[in-house]
Amino acid sequence: MSDIVVKDSNGTVLADGDSVTTVKDLKVKGTSETLKRGTLVKNIRLTGRAGEIECNTKKVKGLVLRTEFLKKA
């Protein structure tokens, strides 16, 4: 694939299948959902862009999150 290194808000390298938690409340565009601080997101997928990951939560599927708002669990 590519040699893009994806890091969380603390500088920890993320990989496919990792679990992350949110570091602040995030409003999800297009829905009325808000991901609360500390929400655990399991089994992330790297997108090929350094600052983004793809994931599913209990209520929102196919969500793309910025890594600056995440930390490795």
Domains of the chain and CATH, by start: 18-70 (2.30.30.40)
pTM listed for this prediction: 0.87
For 12, 14, 23, 29, the CA distances from 68, given in Å and listed in that order, are: 11, 12, 9, 17
Looking at residue 41, what is its pLDDT? 95
Looking at residue 59, what is its pLDDT? 87
In this structure, what token pair is assigned to residue 23? 């570091």
Looking at residue 2, what is its pLDDT? 60
Q: 10-residue block means of pLDDT along the chain (73 residues)? A: 84 96 95 94 94 93 95 95
